[in-house]
Structure 1
Amino acid sequence: MLGASRMIGRYVIALVSLLVLHMRAEGAINVGITYVTEAVASGAVCLDGSPPAYHFSEGFGSGINNWLVHFQGGSWCQNVSSCISRRDTSLGSSAHMETAVTFHGLLNNEEEFNPDFYNWNRILVRYCDGGSYTGDVEAVDPVTNLHFRGARVFQAVMENLLSRGMKNAQNAIMSGCSAGGLTSILHCDKFKALLPSGARVKCLSDAGYFVNANDISGAPSIEEFYSQVVATHGSANNLPASCTSRMKPSLCFFPENVVEQIQTPIFFLNAAHDSWQIANILAPPDSDPSGVWHGCRTNIQNCTPEQLKIIQDFRMEFLTALRKASRFSPHNGMFIDGCFAHCQSDAQQTWFSAPVVGNATISRAVGDWYYDRNGFHKKIDCAYPCNPTCQNVS
C-alpha cells in the first residue's frame, strides 16, 4: 500500500505541475535566426542551395562555457520526387524558415522550467537537407536544383559554432528530435571529437531510436525506405564506418546496428509506443489498403484489442533492439515511457512535468544522467495504458 500511495503521490505532483504550466507564462523567449552564409562557398547548403541556419540563445552566468546543440526533426526524403516536395519549404530551404522561434523544453531559458541547462548556450539547428546530415552528392541536376549535402552542412554548422566559442566548451550536449534524434546518434562521436579533450560531452536522442521491423503486411517497408534515402543522398561514406564495414549502409540508419560502437555516452528518450513509428513503420498507409488502421494509427485510444496486441508486440521488438544500447555501454542512459508520443524534449509540458517514470520527469532524468547524480539512469515504463501521466502527444 505504501508503494502504491507513493506512486499516486508522484502522479498527483506531476499533474499539479502541469496545471501550473497551463496557468502561467513559461518565460520562453523568441530567438532570431542565424544564416551560415560562409557555408555556401564549400557547397554546404540546404536542398535548394540556400545556406544552412540555426537559432542561437547565448549562455550566461555559470553556463557561459556550456553548449547544447539541438537538431530539429522532420523525417527524410527518399527520392527526387519527395525531395522536390520539401525543397521549397522550411525543411528544404532557409529562405522559407521563420526568422524567429520560441525556445521551449530543454532549450528554455528559465531556471524554474529547465534547471540544469537554462543558462547554457542553446542552439536549435534547422533541418533542411532531408537525410539526417549524411548526404554528400557533388553533382546538382539543373532541372531539379536539388543539393544533397547534409554531411557538409553538419560540418559547416559545427565550424561556425566553434568560432563563436564552442571551442572552449567545458560541458556540451548534442541532442535532436526524430530525424534530429537519429542525427545525434549517427554523429555523436564526431561531435565529441570537435571539442576539447577535457570537456564533458554527451548526446541525447529524443524519438530517434527507429527499429527495423516489418509492417503489418509483413513487408520490410522501413528498411526499403532507408535504402532509398541512402542511395538518393549518397550517405554511405558518412555513416559510421564501424557499421558500414559489417553490413549494407542502409542498415546503418538503424541505431541498433551502430550503438555498440559509439564511444560517447548517449541518453535515449523514447516512447515505447512511438506514434511516428506506429504510423510509419508498423502500419504505414501502403500496408493498410482497406484503411482498417486509419483511426488507430493516429490515436491509440481508437485501437481495437487486436490492434493493441500488435502494438504491444511492436513495443517488445523496440525494447529488444534497445537492449543493445544498454548492453554495450554502462554510461548510456534511457527514459522509455509507456506513452503514445513522438518527441518529448522540446515541448515544455513533457520535458518538465509529465510523463513520470521511476519517480522522475524527463528533465530530471536527463540532468541526473548528464551530471552523474542519483545513481541508476535507465528507466523503462510499463506498457500502455498503465501510466496516467502520459501526454500522448505526436
Structure 2
Amino acid sequence: MVGMIGVLIARWTVLVPVLAVLALGATWGRTLPSIAVPVVVVALIGAVLSAVHHAEVVARRVDEPFGSLVLAIAVTVIEVALILTLMSSGGDKTSTLARDTVFAAVMITCNGIFGLALLIGALRRRIAVFNAEGTGAALATVAILATLSLVLPTFTTSKPGPEFSTAQLAFAAVASLALYGLFVLVQTVRHRDDFLPVESDVVVTADDEHGERPGVRTALRSLALLLVSLAGVVGLAKVVSPAVESAVGSAGLPPSAVGVVIALMVLLPETLAAVRAARRDRVQISLNLALGSAMASIGLTIPAIAVASIWLEGPLVLGLGATQMVLLALTVVVGGLTVLPGRATLLQGGVHLALFSAFVFLAASP
C-alpha cells in the first residue's frame, strides 16, 4: 500500500491532467453545487501546476533562454484561455476583464516576482547579480507594450470611453505581436548571451542550469500532457467562473478583482519557478521568467482578444484608470533604476514588493 502511494505521488504530473479532464467531463454544462466548487478549484489549480511542470520539462530539453520562453508562453496560453472563456459568456459585465487581467499580470510579474527574486538573491549573496543589457531590453519592451495597449486607449478620441476603435485595436494587436516576435528573436538568436545567468561576473552556460537534459521521448510526452493540462484549465475555468464572480461580489470587492484573481492563480506556478531559480543563485532566470511573462501577457493576449472581439458581444475596455497608470509609471521608472547597475540589494527587492503590495491593496480598495 505504501509503495502504491509512493508511485501515485511520483506520477502526479501524469495523473493530474487526466483527473482534470475527467472532472471537466463530469461538470461541463452543469450548475455546480457549493460542495463541488472546492473540488473543481483544486482540480483547476492542479492542472495549472501540471501544465507548468510539463512546460519546464520541455524547457529543459531546449535550454535557456528558450526555457523561460516556453514557460512564459505556456502561462500566457492559460491566461488567454481563461480570459476568453469568461468573456464569451459574461457580456457587458466582462468588458474590462482583459484589461484588468493583463494589468494585474504586469504588476505581479514586474513587481511581485521581480522583487521576490531580487530579495531572495540578495539574501543569499548580499547582492543579486544579473545581466543589465538583457533585463533592460526586456523591461523597455514591456513598458512600450503596456503603454501602447493599456494607456493609449484612455486618451484616443476615435471612440468614446477608454476603448480603441476597430482600426486602432488592429494596429495595437499587430504592433504588439511584431514587437514580441522581435524580442524573441533577439533573446533566442541575436543576443542570447544577454539573457543567460551570471555568477560573479562569469557567464553561466545554459547546460549548467538544469543538469541532465530529458530525452526526446520524455519531452514529447510532456508536450502531450501539457496540451491535456491546458484543455483541463480552460474547461474547468469555464465551469468555476460563476462561483469566482459570485465570491468576489459577496466579499464586496470591485469587479476588477476578478482579473486579479485570475492572474494570481495563473502566475502562481511561474512564481514558484522563479523562486527556485533565485534560490540556486540564478536570478537572471527569475527575471527572464518575470519579464517574459509580462511581455507575453500583453504581446499575445491583446492580439488574441482583438481577433476574439469579432464574435464577442459587448464593449472591450482596455484603457487604464488614473490610479493604475500611476502604478504602471512607478513600476517602469523604478524598474529602470533597479536594472541599470546590473546588481541589486535587499532595498531594491523591498521597493518592488512595496509597489506590488500597493497594487493588491488598491485593487481590493480602490
- Regarding TM over 0.5, the answer is no
TM-score (norm 2): 0.26
TM-score (norm 1): 0.25
Give the strand-richer structure, 1 or 2: 1
Give the helix-richer structure, 1 or 2: 2
